[in-house]
Amino acid sequence: MKQNAVGWFDIYVNDMDRAVSFYQSVLKQELENIGDPTDSNVIMKSFPTDMATYGAGGALVKREGCGPVTGGTIVYFGVEDCSIEESRVNKAGGKVINPKMSIGEFGWVSLCMDTEGNMFGLSSMK
C-alpha cells in the first residue's frame, strides 16, 4: 500500500483543558474525546480527522512521563491562509515565533508556540 510518510501525530500536553482551549481558539475546530486502547490512564482529544482525505490525523495527548518539547518535530496544520490562524495565536495564550513567510512555490508558513511549549506550524497556499 502506498502512503505518505506521516499517518498520525500526537502532541503531548501538560494541561489538557488549556491546550484544547488554545487549539480550538486558533484553528476554529472542535476537538473530540477519543480513547487510547493501550492505556486507560491516557487522555486524548483528536483533531477532526477523515482518514479517507489527504493528510494525517492526530491528537493532543496527556500521558504520564511524556510532555511537551521545544526544538523537536514540528507539526504543520494545513489551513486556507495561515495569517488568519496566526492572528489568533497570541490572543489564545501562545506566541508567534516566525510570522507568515513565503516558501516559494510551496506556499506560506507561520511558526508558533502553543500554551504547552510545543512548536507548531501553519501552512497554506495563499
Q: What is the CATH number of the domain that holds 84?
A: 3.10.180.10
pLDDT digits (tens, 9 = 90+) for 29-84: 999 998 777 767 889 999 988 877 877 888 899 988 888 887 778 999 999 999 99
Range of the domain at 54: 8-124
Q: Which pLDDT score, from 0 to 100, does residue 1 have?
A: 61
Whether 1 is in a domain gets the answer no
In a domain, 100, yes or no: yes
Residue 70 domain-assigned (yes or no): yes
Q: Give me the residue label for grid cell 501562545.
A: 94
Quick: pLDDT tens for 16-33: 999 999 999 999 999 999
Residue 4 neighbours by CB distance under 10 Å = 8
Q: How far is CA 119 from the centre of its chain?
A: 9
Answer whether residue 44 is part of any domain: yes
**Does residue 3 sit within a domain?**
no
53 lies in some domain: yes
pTM of the model: 0.87
Domain count, the chain: 1
